[in-house]
Structure 1
């Protein structure tokens, strides 16, 4: 009997962690600098006092996205070995 290859893609909600350092005269000043960025993505901030470090994904905090959180669009899809979509769980038909 023949074997056929497939793969599944699942959309997930996850957290990523970006390490960075801030050059300042004191911890309080460093905190003030960080707060001045208004919680923007530090990877896009241009500031001479900022040095980016390692980035990591936190798989222990990943969870599958629900169809409701994705407005009914597919959160799981099955593909064949040629990358053709075979099936998905969209509420809107084939995405």
Structure 2
């Protein structure tokens, strides 16, 4: 793989991650159910299977692992920066209750 090809792949990965992050962050804050079907529709992806393959290809992870990490990162930031109850943080980050959080 030459340098130009490497840069194109890196650029594609960064663009994919940026689109995913922006859409997921917006979805979490809006209280959307964060399913793969929801994300596929939100991104106007051709189909869910392609999105699953692209998660593996560009991010080297699965959607469920990625969304769990995003939720926990958001929750951690909220707990560190704000005076909010654990229950409120859990609910605002997409967990069904504080016990599952």
Q: Same-fold call, TM > 0.5?
A: no
Q: Which bin holds the TM-score, normalised by the shorter protein?
A: under 0.3
**Larger RCO (CA under 8 A, 6+ residues apart):** 1
Structure number with higher helix proportion: 2
Whichever of the two has the greater Rg, that structure is 1
Per the normalisation by structure 2, the TM-score is 0.24
